[in-house]
């Protein structure tokens, strides 16, 4: 079973659908967009998959614990966690409020911490299920190219993603003896709600494309395909890695 946070739209929705197409039972976490979560559920059903929708704010410890308990009750076990939920709230550094800082850090950094801890505890308790996998569990963080590329006006976002990268590496090292694989995918520009104000305008698209050597803006499925691979036994020797799935965006100096 795979649990994807923030799976009612965009990249999380794409990953949940693709993982279901590959045969995983899915837990689709959503925050407020119930309609979007139901769309994900429909697409999973069309793929012949099983799915549980769970409303939870990933930044709230009690809600995360309750979500994992519900997932376990429904499917008996958790094999894969995709820490995808994330937000952006732009503000110049001289103007940013503590509230704008905390909102993004709580969702993008504390949320993945709470979910990773809940998942890792489950993985360790259960150990390696030799018949179905070579690892005891897998955690995938959806970070961003902005875990290494600075981005003025978004110190809350870049700091959260830089933190996610170091959390991933630390967990990969600490949990490797328990046979838990931990990796990140760092997307470049992907067409989703988070950046719709940019890619929906001609000017915005041109600005985005000027930073992408490969010459196209990414789609959620570009990330989903890589997530499926990372979660599979094909990637059994991969841990502590960040895969930049960005059409070459990180090749340019910032
Ligand atoms: P999106 O806005 O479509 O998806 C974000 C999801 O997170 C939404 O479904 C939202 O409801 C959910 N969410 C927000 N706060 C939550 C909370 N407290 N608890 C649970 N869920 C919550 O945008 P997206 O682009 O699909 O974003 C997914 C991830 O990809 C984010 O972490 C984002 O930072 C990252 N990312 C996106 C891009 C891009 O270009 N789209 C690039 C780099 C990284």
Given a contact cutoff of 8 angstroms between Cβ atoms, the answer to whether 32 and 239 are in contact is no
Query: Of 109, 112, 100, nearest to 161 (Cα)?
Result: 109
The band of 131, judged by pLDDT with boundaries at 50, 70 and 90, is confident
Contacts of 46 (CB under 8 A, 6+ apart): none
CA-proximal residue: ligand 1, atom 3 (nearest) = 10
Mutate to test the pocket of ligand 1, among 14, 87, 226 (most ligand atoms within 8 A of CB): 87
ipTM over 0.95: yes
Mutate to test the pocket of ligand 1, among 68, 85, 217 (most ligand atoms within 8 A of CB): 85
Q: How far is the CA of 64 from the centre of ligand 1 (A)?
A: 17
Given a contact cutoff of 8 angstroms between Cβ atoms, the answer to whether 11 and 64 are in contact is no
Average pLDDT taken over every residue of the chain: 96
Give the residue extent of every domain in the chain.
2-192+219-251
- Which residues are the active-site residues? 157
* Whether residue 89 has pLDDT greater than 70: yes
- pLDDT at 253 (0 to 100): 61
Q: What is the per-residue pLDDT across 165-206, written as a single tens digit (0 to 9) for each?
A: 999 999 999 999 999 999 999 999 999 999 999 999 999 999
Burial of 253 (0-12, 13-18, 19+ CB in 10 A): exposed
The CATH code of domain 2-192+219-251 reads 3.40.50.720
* Whether residue 127 has pLDDT greater than 60: yes
Question: Which residue ranges have their beta carbon within 6 Å of ligand 1?
Answer: 5-6, 8-12, 29-31, 33, 57-59, 84-87, 107, 111, 142, 144, 187, 189-190, 192-195
């Amino acid at each position: 079973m795979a649990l994807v946070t923030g799976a009612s739209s965009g990249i999380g929705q794409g990953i949940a659908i693709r993982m279901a197409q590959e045969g995983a039972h899915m837990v689709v976490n959503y925050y407020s967009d119930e309609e979007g979560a139901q769309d994900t559920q429909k697409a999973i059903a069309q793929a012949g998959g099983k799915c549980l929708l769970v409303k939870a704010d990933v930044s709230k410890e009690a809600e995360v614990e309750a979500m994992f308990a519900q997932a376990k009750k429904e499917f008996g076990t958790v094999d894969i966690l995709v820490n995808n939920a994330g937000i952006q709230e732009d503000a110049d550094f001289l103007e940013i409020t503590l509230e704008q800082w905390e909102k993004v850090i709580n969702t993008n950094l504390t949320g993945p911490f709470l979910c990773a801890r809940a998942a890792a505890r489950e993985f360790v308790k259960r150990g390696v299920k030799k018949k179905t996998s070579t690892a005891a569990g897998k955690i995938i963080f959806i970070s961003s190219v902005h875990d290494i590329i600075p981005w003025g006006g978004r110190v809350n976002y870049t700091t959260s993603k830089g933190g996610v990268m170091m959390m991933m590496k630390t967990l990969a090292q600490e949990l490797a003896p328990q046979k838990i694989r931990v990796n990140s995918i760092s997307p470049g520009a992907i067409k989703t709600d988070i950046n719709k104000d940019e890619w929906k305008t001609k000017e915005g698209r041109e600005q985005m494309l000027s930073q992408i050597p490969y010459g196209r803006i990414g789609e959620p499925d570009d990330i989903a395909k890589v997530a499926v691979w990372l979660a599979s036994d094909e990637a059994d020797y991969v841990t502590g890695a960040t895969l930049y799935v960005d059409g070459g965006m990180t090749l340019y100096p910032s």
